[in-house]
Amino acid sequence: MIKTSPVYKKALLSTALAFGLVTSGVGLAANQKNALPEIGVVASSAISLDKEIQIGDVLMRQLRGQAPIINDPLLDEYIQDLGNRLVAQADNVKFPFEFFLLNSADINAFAFFGGHVGVHTGLIYNARNESELASVLAHEVSHVTQRHIARSIAAQQKSSPLQLASALGGILLALANPEAGIAAISAGSAASAQASINYTRQNEKEADSIGIRILAQAGFDPNGASDFFGTLVEKYRLKSRTPAFLLTHPLPESRVADARTRAASYKTGRIAPSLSFHLAKSRILARYYATPEYNINYFETSLERDSYTFKAAAEYGLALAYLADKQNEKAGDLIDSLLQKDPRNLFYLDTYTDVALETGRVQDAIDKLTAQAVLTPRNRVITLNLANALVKNKEFDQAVRLLKDYLLVEPENMLAHQILSDAYAESQNKLEMHQTKAEVYALAASYPRAIDELHSAYNYAGTQNIEKQRIRARIEQFRAFQTRLESL
């Protein structure tokens, strides 16, 4: 796992479903509560697709600076691949989807403007199989493709432009401070609140229906949705604390039955369990949840009792736990054994790299990753691990070339920018270091800090007049972005 120093302290304790926050707080006229606007017609009158993308970009940048987003190439690769399989079966896809993870034990997921879908690690950890996890992602994809936020705004526009402005402000506030955000957008009469709840349920029903179709067409078990709902209801039946997912997704008893009925209309065969899903669960526990001592005991006990779906996933989790406990030799033995059976598995290659770097075998890591990079160029796991290993081996020029090539394809990958900044810092290239740091700050919507970094870069530009002009132009861009942020 690549470790870099965080640019910002994480201030967001939990993130609520952006769609749920909007629709639970804005009022609708009573005679509109059962209306389902035509997709892209009424919605576009409230907010254009271009505007939706702009707002989504702003919200995503703010989340990077405030929320506990995980910059973990392996988990990012897994959740994006899973999400893409679902998006490929969806209609009305207007823009690329970005799936990202937050380090939170809450069982929750949320979608907002521009195709952004956030997933809490607690959702993956508590799902019993990949179809249950995929059912939640399919539901969120449906919220986006049906433009439920824009449709809610369109309906609200007809009753009160002032409340519309309050709702949009509430979205931004809620992402930074959930309790304050909910309070900001919940003001209004009891009648408008009830109308809004009815509209929310209607949207949820629509997202359920479309989500289950997407789920089945993508090759997952369409019963994943009803199974997941049933698991949540049973798990929290006797507990006072309601999970975040149920707070933002109203769950009357009829919803579970409706999901089962819809799933019955699709043919289902045996769905093989997913090794990647169970490897992701093991990684979340070993890397983000418990202590090394607990994890060693947990995975050793699982292996002794044969209480696992995949033995490889339990062994992988144990290797991570050993590595975190500085038992590098034991970790290395397990990973070497796993790689012999599955030499191209990204989870194993990532941990092999970690063990090699910890034990001073940097060149071994570079050799293995380079061979894999030939087979899978620009793969985020291989590329970022290889670049990090090259920096550790003081091969700065090669690391820079690799990262710049990758950033042409993934220009908003914050971890790539951070490793690139480290490469420039280690090679004493202050000009490029400050410019790259500026891009990191900009990705977190911290434009004043980004501009400060560019001023520092300008001072190192010396007589490079063309470079100075480029820096000045980027400063003006960041100032314009800051203005746009304030206007939104």
Q: Find, among 245, 262, 214, 210, the residue nearest to 127 by Cα.
A: 245
Q: Which of 57, 76, 132, 208 is catalytic?
A: 208
Domain boundary among 204, 230, 264: 264
Q: Are residues 76 and 193 in the same domain?
A: yes
Instruction: Please name the residues in contact with 120: beta carbons below 8 A apart, sequence gap of 6 or more.
Output: 15, 101, 102, 104, 105, 106, 107, 108, 109, 244
The answer to whether residue 289 is domain-embedded is yes
The answer to whether residue 1 is domain-embedded is no
pLDDT tens column, 15-30: 333 333 333 333 333 3
Q: Are residues 280 and 401 in the same domain?
A: yes
Q: Are residues 422 and 291 in the same domain?
A: yes
- Surface-to-core class of residue 269, CB atoms within 10 Å of its CB (0-12 exposed, 13-18 middle, 19+ buried): exposed
The answer to whether residue 223 is domain-embedded is yes
> Do 245 and 123 contact (CB within 8 A), yes or no?
yes
* Percentage, residues of the chain above pLDDT 70: 76
pLDDT at 32 over 50: no
Instruction: Please name the residues in contact with 444: beta carbons below 8 A apart, sequence gap of 6 or more.
Output: 7, 8, 61, 62, 64, 65, 414
- 148 vs 183: CA distance, rounded Å: 21
Please report, in angstroms and rounded to a whole number, the separation of the first and last CA atoms in the chain: 36
- Among 111-120, 130-139, 193-202, the minimum mean pLDDT is found in 193-202
The partner residues of 116 in beta bridges, in order of sequence, read 98, 112
Does the active-site annotation cover 293? no
The answer to whether residue 114 is domain-embedded is yes
> Do 414 and 443 contact (CB within 8 A), yes or no?
yes
120, containing H or E segment:
strand 116-120
Please indicate if the annotation marks 77 as binding a ligand.
Answer: no
Instruction: Please name the residues in contact with 206: beta carbons below 8 A apart, sequence gap of 6 or more.
Output: 36, 142, 146, 148
Q: Are residues 214 and 321 in the same domain?
A: no
Can you give the pLDDT at residue 428? 96
Q: Are residues 252 and 279 in the same domain?
A: no
The answer to whether residue 353 is domain-embedded is yes
Instruction: Please name the residues in contact with 220: beta carbons below 8 A apart, sequence gap of 6 or more.
Output: 130, 131, 134, 135, 138, 271
> For 287, which DSSP code?
I
Please indicate if the annotation marks 139 as binding a ligand.
Answer: yes
Q: Are residues 260 and 318 in the same domain?
A: no
> Do 88 and 74 contact (CB within 8 A), yes or no?
no
Mean pLDDT of 253-272: 82
Q: Are residues 308 and 260 in the same domain?
A: no
Mean pLDDT, all residues of the chain: 81
The tokens for 92 are: 């009305």
Q: Are residues 38 and 162 in the same domain?
A: yes
Q: How many domains does the chain have?
A: 2
Q: Find, among 35, 31, 16, the residue nearest to 152 by Cα.
A: 35
Q: Are residues 302 and 247 in the same domain?
A: no
Between 7 and 74, the higher pLDDT residue: 74
Domain boundary among 264, 296, 312: 264
Domain boundary among 231, 264, 297: 264
Q: Are residues 259 and 281 in the same domain?
A: no
Q: Which of 57, 106, 140, 315 is catalytic?
A: 140
Does the active-site annotation cover 208? yes
pLDDT tens column, 161-173: 444 444 554 554 4
> Do 22 and 149 contact (CB within 8 A), yes or no?
yes
Determine the structural domain holding residue 296 and report its residue range. Answer: 275-487
Q: Are residues 281 and 253 in the same domain?
A: no
Q: What is the pTM of this model?
A: 0.83
Q: Are residues 45 and 187 in the same domain?
A: yes
> Do 349 and 369 contact (CB within 8 A), yes or no?
yes
* Size of the chain in residues: 488
